[in-house]
Structure 1
Amino acid sequence: MVERGRLRYTPAGIEVLDLRLTHASTQHVGTQAQHIELDLQGVAFAEMACKLQYVEAGQTLRLAGFLMPNRRGSRTLKLNITEWIEEPEHGLFQENRS
């Protein structure tokens, strides 16, 4: 689920959107299933920030990206969102990924 902040701009004029993400999944390690739940800070830049600014709080999305430090030198991580994965059965964002 997603909770988003306001769209803002870097000093260079690039769009930035800060988000709070809630993740829940079941991961399988060998024959064991482990349920994972966590909250994570996220950030999106440029075109991705513009797309995600219209997501409603609490909406379920499938996102991809990479982990990065929250600030330079910080050990706290956030997810830099680079992709909103298409899920046509949910009627979510449609993107040509060819």
Structure 2
Amino acid sequence: MNRLVLTAQLAERGAVRYTPAGLPALDLSLKHESEVTQDGQPRRVSVEIKARAIGAITQRLAGLEIGSSHGFAGFLGSQRNGRGVVFHVTELD
């Protein structure tokens, strides 16, 4: 199963663009910081991840304030150039 659920801050947001199929698309950068327990020890986690939304959800994401924190859900895929990972956001809490 490929599903990611992440509470994160909206760090950056590009302009709405359109795919060749005519669907709206939006590139984002999300920042997550938290403390987790690993092998019984607390560990501080900080990660910034590239994200993309395609379709109707782009309208909701385009209205979010930079720096605001939300729950994002979706799946992981590879970037167009095959280097790295992109979080495809399909749901917003």
Q: TM-score range by the shorter chain?
A: 0.7 to 0.9
Unmatched 5+ stretches in structure 1: 86-98
Larger radius of gyration: 1
**TM-score under structure 2 length normalisation:** 0.82
CA-to-partner distance for each residue in 1:61-95, whole Å, 9 max, x for gaps? 111111110115x130011001112xxxxxxxxxx
Unmatched 5+ stretches in structure 2: 1-8
Identity %: 33
**TM-score under structure 1 length normalisation:** 0.78
1:49 matched to 2:50: no
Q: 2:87 aligns with which of 61, 79, 82?
A: 79
Q: Which residues of 2 match residues 78-97 of structure 1 at below 5 A?
A: 78-85=86-93
CA distance in 1, matches of 2:83, 2:35: 26
CA distance in 2, matches of 1:83, 1:40: 16
| Counterpart amino acid of residue 25 in structure 1 | S
Q: Which has the higher strand share?
A: 2
Alignment RMSD, CA only?
Answer: 1.3
CA distance in 1, matches of 2:20, 2:83: 25
- Deviation, 1:25, is 1.6
CA distance in 2, matches of 1:63, 1:35: 20
Moved over 2 A (4+): none
Number of aligned residue pairs: give it: 84
